[in-house]
Amino acid sequence: MRLEHAELRALLPHRYPMLLLDRVEAVEPGVSLEAVKTVTGCEPCYRGIAEGEPADRYAYPASLLIESFGQGAAVLWLLSRRPGTAGLPMFTAARECVLLRPAYPGDVIRHRVRLDQVVDGAAFASGSSWIGDDKVAEFGSMMAVVRPVDAIARAS
């Protein structure tokens, strides 16, 4: 199963500038997912960088890479739940994450996500991110919990 961008928007509450996935290439609900995030030079994280700054200033921020992977995990979890289940996943903890090399504008990042465990209102995912054949990050354990939609709306 493949999900185009419009379908992602229907699943995830995130919007610009924090919707950090472009497409889901393949998903086996309850098991695994492969999602794509394309980094471009016009993203807000590159705004305001002064002229002549060194090339590594354009490394894609680790926090956004982790969030992007987490959104892939959220899609996988959402598609694995019973239809009509209420509440949104909220990312709560990342453990044993290793960033191996930075991504730059022009890179297409592929997240390979596995859903490891779901316990009453909490889910754990793991996996890795790739640019071509290069592994850019490993994610040992990402945890999310379900929160009621109205509680999230109130907090924001």
Partner 1 sequence: MSEHDQHMAELREIVAEVLEVEPEEVADTADFVEEYEADSLRAIEILARIEKKYKVEIPQAELNEMRSLKAVHEVVARYAGWQD
CB nearer to partner 1: pick between 91 and 104? 91
Phi/psi of residue 63, nearest 5 degrees: -60, -40
Give the interface size with partner 1 as a residue count (CB under 8 A).
12
In the block, residue with structure tokens 């492969």: 34
Site for partner 1 in 102-131 (CB under 8 A): 116-117, 119-122, 124
Binding mask 65-104 for partner 1 (x = CB under 8 A): ---------------------------xx-x---------
Min separation Cβ 15 and partner 1, Å: 25
Cis-peptide, bond into residue 17, ω within 30° of zero: yes
Kindly report the CA angle at 60 between 56 and 65, in degrees rounded to 5? 150
Helix (H, G, I), strand (E, B) or coil at 139: strand
CB nearer to partner 1: pick between 47 and 82? 82
| By the rule CB under 8 A, 148 interacts with partner 1 | no
Classify burial at 130, counting beta carbons within 10 Å of its beta carbon; exposed 0-12, middle 13-18, buried 19 or more. middle
Min separation Cβ 96 and partner 1, Å: 10
Distance between CA atoms of residues 78 and 35, nearest Å: 14
CB nearer to partner 1: pick between 93 and 152? 93
* Contact footprint for partner 1 (CB under 8 A): 92-93, 95, 116-117, 119-122, 124, 143, 145
